[in-house]
Structure 1
Amino acid sequence: MLVRLSAILALMALLAPVAALSAPAVGMHWLALADPLVESQPLNAVAFYPAQGRPRSSEVDVYRVDAAQDAPLAAGRFPLVVISHGNNGSPFAHHDLATALAKAGFIVVAVLHTGDNYQDRSRAGTFSNLYGRPLQLSAAIDSVQSDPLLMAGLDSRRVGVIGYSAGGESALILAGAQPEPERLRAYCRQWPDDQDACGSGGALIPDRDDLSAFADPRVGAVMLMAPLALMFDRKGLEPVRVPVLIYSGDADRILQLEQNAAALAQQLPIPPDFRLLPGAGHFVFMAPCPEALEAVAPHVCEDADGVDRNAIHERLSVEAVRFFSRTLGGSQPDSAGGG
């Protein structure tokens, strides 16, 4: 019996490197493009993609990311998913979701929204931010189509969008929704203590009068997490004709559930798949916090008793892969064509 056990352990030791080599690897690649709102200003985005070689990790900002910088792209034709972060956010706040999709055969591009991120809030509360964010997402889609590292593996006929918080609003506009800014003013009359939405009194700063809602016909599916949806009514949502998956927490203290995610679930023309997480707050959809982030932003990292952020994110990753595989289709071999 001891001899048999020793043989099994020896075989497992020999096979371990083979298993590591066959595990899905993820690459990470920075994209630099022109901000469509100010062409002389750069717009940054980071791509996560199926890669060749062994799985590796990288340290980026405060996060450990399961991806290797500029690793060679794996063979195949891959759908694209674009991620839009929340106000004052970061593309790496959703790195675990992005790498899970990349491991499953998607190219994922997370945009750092110029003028509305953790380093730069110069467009907060403006018309250019409302209407510019979707333009930035569309520019990111364009950039992958011409990027030397990624273009050969992209199937640009299959594009999805993930939006968190204000990114949900951006994703819906990109899918065809038409916002009505006056609805924000009406909301703020009812909920004046909502500083996140109503810090400027409910009126958007009219810094640009040449912008309007921009829809990208390439978008074929949308996933929303704690979405901002105050400015949409049933008529404004009528043009959204793609599958939608919505996640929200029933203890969100940043965005009123009934005015946002729950309203979308009732008003979208094609009924979405709506998942309500008991006890979960607004920030639970950001990746589990490293210690460095907990030290400077504890309000973003703390969850209610009984809410397991790690378990929620494991579920989010599985459901995101399932949703986009069903709505966009998974990766295809090179012979499948596309582009």
Structure 2
Amino acid sequence: MRLWAWMAGLAALLAAQAAWAGNVGFERVTAPAGADKPLVVGIWYPTDAPEAPMALGPSSQVVALGAPVAGANHPLILISHGTGGSFGDHFDTAKALAQAGFIVAAVSHTGDTYDDRSRTRRISERPGHLTPVIDYMTTTWRGHDAIDARRIGAFGFSAGGFTVLGAIGGEIDLSLMAAHCRQHPHFYDCATIGKLGEAPPAKPAPVSHDARIKAAVVAAPAMGFAFAPAGLAKVTVPVQLWRAEWDTVLPQPYYAEVVHGLLPKAEYRLAPHADHFDFLPPCSDQLAKLAPDVCVSNIDRAAFHKTFNAEVVRFFKKTLD
């Protein structure tokens, strides 16, 4: 009788998952963040509703806006963007994950977006943004019943890579930043801080960790040097680490290579001939006019993203299933 009940339950689960036709739904929401401003979140998820083109900032995507969620027991993936970005920065990776059966929640980090750089130097606050997003997605979002809260992963690029490393247990020494920038004032992170003219916080916020995150993909992480020598000692979840071979924004060996040395068991992937912003989707004509530096590439970015997104999906399927 117990075997029959177990088989019936499994059949019901498979039937629910099979009902999904491979399409992707999308919506933009706000998630409460305690006393702080609510966090803006973009959500991609499996649906069987028809898709249609829609604008996403200076880009566009083909999704089913506001459609019902199809299936059940979907893993949840969080996405953390780079400095000065937004929740839509990795929409193609988010859609690839949703097409593979994941629910994806990408957060815009308050004070470190394209239209608000007021907290860029308060980078240690960023990991703490992931916890309220997890809370919202697993308890309040209209599709929360379709999420398997035991299977949560996180993807981060650049400053988002730091964010995810912090959330899974990493600790940084921000006092190393001053010496780093004295030695490398032309590096992107140091030059950006100089342009902002923002004073560093007198007492940086402690990095917040969330044990609910069970796997992480980190691409071209910022602040790698500040994790040494033991800042990643408490990271125990599986990590897929990507480095752009010709990263001119966060050049080696100060960032991804430091993380690689501290996480020798990570699945390490090199993107041949790629530069830093090649981890962002291929640019629309509009975005290329607005941000040409982000869009210039020495590789076929569209072809690279087919491989990159497939590898991200494979890793999360392997580690969360």
TM-score by length of 1: 0.84
Aligned counterpart, 1:35: 33
2:149 matched to 1:156? yes
Q: Contact 1:25 / 1:56 at 8 angstroms: preserved in 2?
A: no
Find the aligned partners of 1:213 and 1:22 in 2 and give their Cα distance: 38
SS of 2:253's partner is helix
Shift of 1:288: 0.6
2:226 aligned to which of 213, 226, 231: 231
Q: Contact 2:40 / 2:87 at 8 angstroms: preserved in 1?
A: no
Shift of 1:140: 0.7
SS of 1:67's partner is strand
Q: Which amino acid aligns with 1:293?
A: L
2:274 matched to 1:250? no
Aligned counterpart, 1:109: 105
2:306 aligned to which of 289, 294, 314: 314
Q: Which amino acid aligns with 2:107?
A: V
Aligned counterpart, 1:98: 94
SS of 1:293's partner is helix
Q: Which amino acid aligns with 2:261?
A: Q
Q: Contact 2:20 / 2:46 at 8 angstroms: preserved in 1?
A: no
- The C-alpha deviation readout for 1:96-141, integer Å capped at 9, x for no partner, is 000000010101000011100011111112xxx3222111111111
- The C-alpha deviation readout for 1:20-68, integer Å capped at 9, x for no partner, is x9741111122212334x43x2211111001122333322212221321
* Corresponding pairs, count: 301
- The C-alpha deviation readout for 1:143-170, integer Å capped at 9, x for no partner, is 1112342111011111111010000000
**Compared CA separation, residues 32 and 200, structure 1 to 2 (3 A):** closer
Task: Give the structure with higher Rg (CA).
Answer: 1
Q: Which amino acid aligns with 2:128?
A: L
Find the aligned partners of 1:175 and 1:198 in 2 and give their Cα distance: 28
Percent identity, aligned pairs only, is 35
Can you give the 5+ residue segments of structure 1 that lack an aligned partner in the other structure? 1-20, 330-339
Q: Which amino acid aligns with 1:236?
A: G
Find the aligned partners of 1:82 and 1:216 in 2 and give their Cα distance: 12
Can you give the 5+ residue segments of structure 2 that lack an aligned partner in the other structure? 1-18
Find the aligned partners of 2:170 and 2:227 in 1 and give their Cα distance: 7
Shift of 1:266: 1.2
Find the aligned partners of 1:120 and 1:265 in 2 and give their Cα distance: 31
Q: Contact 1:252 / 1:282 at 8 angstroms: preserved in 2?
A: yes
Q: Contact 2:184 / 2:190 at 8 angstroms: preserved in 1?
A: no
2:52 aligned to which of 48, 53, 56: 56
Find the aligned partners of 1:272 and 1:114 in 2 and give their Cα distance: 29
Aligned counterpart, 1:282: 276
SS of 2:225's partner is coil
Shift of 1:210: 7.3
Q: Contact 2:45 / 2:69 at 8 angstroms: preserved in 1?
A: yes
Find the aligned partners of 1:185 and 1:22 in 2 and give their Cα distance: 51
Find the aligned partners of 2:68 and 2:102 in 1 and give their Cα distance: 15
Find the aligned partners of 2:43 and 2:273 in 1 and give their Cα distance: 32
Find the aligned partners of 2:84 and 2:314 in 1 and give their Cα distance: 29
Structure 1 residues 58-207: aligned runs within 5 Å: 58-125=54-121, 129-200=122-193, 205-207=199-201
Q: Contact 2:32 / 2:136 at 8 angstroms: preserved in 1?
A: no
Find the aligned partners of 2:192 and 2:114 in 1 and give their Cα distance: 17
Aligned counterpart, 1:291: 285
Q: Which amino acid aligns with 2:311?
A: E
SS of 2:85's partner is coil
Q: Contact 1:113 / 1:133 at 8 angstroms: preserved in 2?
A: yes
